């Protein structure tokens, strides 16, 4: 039975039962993150390659960058040992920094996908991020506060971005915008649920991020393919119209 005696939740029972329970929870979380990392890697490669050939399409670059940061963050979670030449503290800093950068690229990708630029907002958020990471790197901020503040920072940014894009999708009524708005609404709901888990209202193995990650990656992949197909149709239409005008001339 679970109990609280200064060390959090503890399950008591026969050794074989506890081992089976631990293996189930371990596989449950790890499998989801591995699938999410694999799908994220594929989406990042496709998005960045498309951007290399179409530099004017900034949303592809930010989508690729966002997925790269997510994959690196997952790698720090999945890693069972510190990376070569890295200490435990350095690994923790890399993990936190990747999550923070992921949250900021999440914001920029959302703005670019919605066809918007917010120079002041972007400047302030990136400047604050650079300052915070610098303070953590220099050891100015106590390590006991780094994770808490960073998670609150990321949660606020995710929620604000997701809620803003609900309004944006309602305003434009674009099918692609609506689909992304639904994705971001799900991100907010999952984030609220897992935030309660983080403060130990429920068991930690009940977080949903590990399972929602692959679903979100698939939805972003569909959205990426949809946008590429739409761009190709637009180019084909322009070429056909140009050919017709040349023939008429």
- Residue corresponding to tokens 């650079």: 130
- Give me the sign of the Cα torsion angle 217, 198, 27, 69: positive
| Joined tokens for residue 16 | 């074989």
Helix (H, G, I), strand (E, B) or coil at 99: helix
The predicted model scores a pTM of: 0.83
pLDDT in tens, the chain (249 residues): 444 455 556 777 788 787 887 777 777 778 888 888 888 899 999 889 989 988 888 888 999 999 999 999 999 888 877 777 778 888 888 999 999 999 999 999 999 998 888 999 999 999 999 999 999 988 887 777 888 888 889 889 999 999 999 999 999 888 889 999 999 998 898 888 777 776 665 566 667 777 787 888 888 888 888 887 777 777 766 667 777 778 887
DSSP state at residue 4: E
């Amino acid at each position: 039975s679970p109990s609280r005696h200064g060390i959090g939740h503890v399950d008591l029972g026969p050794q074989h039962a506890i081992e089976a329970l631990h293996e189930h929870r371990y596989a449950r979380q790890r499998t989801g993150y591995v699938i999410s990392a694999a799908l994220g890697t594929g989406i990042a490669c496709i998005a960045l390659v498309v951007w290399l050939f179409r530099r004017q399409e900034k949303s592809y670059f930010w989508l690729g960058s966002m997925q790269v940061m997510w994959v690196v963050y997952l790698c720090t979670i999945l890693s069972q040992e510190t990376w070569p030449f890295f200490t435990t503290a350095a690994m923790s800093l890399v993990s936190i920094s990747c999550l923070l950068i992921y949250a900021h690229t999440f914001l920029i990708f959302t703005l670019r996908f919605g066809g918007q630029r917010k120079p002041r907002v972007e400047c302030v958020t990136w400047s604050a991020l650079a300052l915070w990471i610098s303070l953590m790197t220099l050891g100015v901020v106590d390590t006991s506060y780094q994770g808490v503040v960073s998670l609150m920072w990321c949660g606020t940014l995710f929620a604000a971005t997701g809620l803003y894009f609900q309004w944006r999708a309602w305003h434009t009524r674009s099918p692609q915008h609506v689909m992304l708005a639904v994705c971001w609404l799900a991100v907010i709901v999952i984030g609220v649920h897992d935030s309660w888990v983080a403060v130990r209202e429920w068991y930690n193995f009940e977080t949903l991020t590990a399972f929602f990650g692959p679903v979100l990656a698939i939805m972003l992949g569909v959205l990426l393919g949809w946008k590429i197909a739409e761009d190709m149709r637009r180019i084909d239409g322009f070429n056909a119209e140009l050919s017709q005008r040349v023939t008429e001339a």
